Each structure stands twice: as structure tokens, then as C-alpha cells.
Structure 1
Amino acid sequence: MTDNQFFEEQKEQSLIKSVIVAKYFSVWANVIVSTLQKKPFSQQKIAYIDLFAGPGRYKDGAKSTPIKILEHAIGDEKLKER
């Protein structure tokens, strides 16, 4: 992988990583939101940071991890407000 060709097309290992992280995020977010709901006077915002996220889409149009996470967060009412 030279000349920044990594984001040309999604490889199988990147797809597997993305699926695992997206599923993990969903479970993690549910736990965090449930905990926050028990503490209504505490800060209700959550954050997710992927330091190896890349641009979000491959040149072939395939969604990468950050887009999948963002779509999940937007589609979940409890996450969207946080």
C-alpha cells in the first residue's frame, strides 16, 4: 500500500473491522445512555473518537467506520440528542 492507495477500495479486513466496531459502538452507546439516564443532573453528552477513521468513504463509494457510526447515532433518538 504505497502512494495512499489504502482508501481506493475497501478490503475484506477493513470491512470486518468496520462491522465489528459499528456493532460494538451500538452496544457501548446503549450502556452509556442507560447510565446517563440514571443521572439526569450530570452532563448528558457522549463522544466517540476513532483516531484511525480515515475519510469515511472509500473511492469506490463503500462506507467506512465513521459513516456507519454517524448514521447509527443519527438514527437513534437517544443518541441523536446527545
Structure 2
Amino acid sequence: MVQREVIVVNESGIHARPAAAVVNFVKSFKGTVDVTHNNKRGNLKSIISIMSLGMRKGSALVLDIEGEDEEQFADRLVNFISSLEG
């Protein structure tokens, strides 16, 4: 398992549109991807799970990635979340 931290930089946080983009991005990964925010844990392959965490701009997220090529995917995921717009 690989763990990464990322800060939400999107002005609107991770609301419906960015959450859907995250789910679509993460679904390509065959392993598991979980996020922890404010002591709550969620699955990044579930839009309901993402939305329930209330991730706003400046939120610190801890990502737990497990599966094949987890190191490379972790780096790609951090870059993806860091570049979210809308």
C-alpha cells in the first residue's frame, strides 16, 4: 500500500463535477483507492462517498492506494487532484 497527501486547491472544493471526474479517473485503476479527510474515510470509486466527506479548498487529504502499479498511480492521482478545476 502507498500513502500520499494532497491539498485540495480547487476554489469550489470537490463538489459534484470534480467528484465525478475523480471517480472516472480512479475507476481505471484495478486496485483500491481510499481517502481520509477530517477523520472520515471514503472510497474514491464512489461519488456518494466522496461527496459525504465535504472536501473544501485547503482540505488536507490522505490517499491510500493499493494494487498493481500503485506507486505510479499514486503520483498520477495526486497530480490529477492538484489540477482539478470547476
Structure with more of its chain in strand, by fraction: 2
Q: TM-score scaled to structure 1, two decimals?
A: 0.32
Structure with more of its chain in helix, by fraction: 1
Larger radius of gyration: 1
Higher relative CO (CA 8 A, sep ≥ 6), structure 1 or 2?
Answer: 2
Q: TM-score scaled to structure 2, two decimals?
A: 0.31
